[in-house]
Amino acid sequence: MDLSSLITRGFAMTDRMLWPLVIERGACSTSGLSPDDWYPVSAPAGAARREAARAIAVCSGCRVREECLELALRNWAVGRHGVWGGTVPAERERLRAGRFAQLSRVLARNRDADRAASGDANRAASAPSRLRFIQAIQG
């Protein structure tokens, strides 16, 4: 199941709206850095941050940093590589895992509420037939 559309931080904008915004307003588009500066080779967060320090510095002043990070988390096929929203892949992996756990808890709570509601509806629907049964016995 692709959770990219569900894993959001409350952004009311769709990906279709966010991509052009980030592309047009992102500080990365005018930074002059080499593409290599945006893709650290090391996997551990500390080492990756050191390798991508120049790119991360560009992100620190970017006005669409949160939207950029949101796109990376929603679109994991591209978001698991490089620097997005001032974060490296290992940091985004932790953010994504936290969002997935939160989403799982919310969905479980909703399922429990739906089951309780359907149980109440079933009991309410069966109440008239029980009443008729009791009346027939007493009858």
- pLDDT attached to residue 6: 41
- pLDDT attached to residue 12: 72
Q: Using one digit for the tens of pLDDT, what is the confidence trace for 47-83?
A: 999 999 999 999 999 999 999 999 999 999 999 999 9
Does the pTM of the predicted model rise above 0.85?
Answer: no
Which residues, at least 6 apart from 43, have a Cβ–Cβ distance to it below 8 Å? 89, 90
In Å, what is the CA distance from 65 to each residue of 10, 23, 72? 15, 11, 11
The mean of the pLDDT values for the chain is: 84
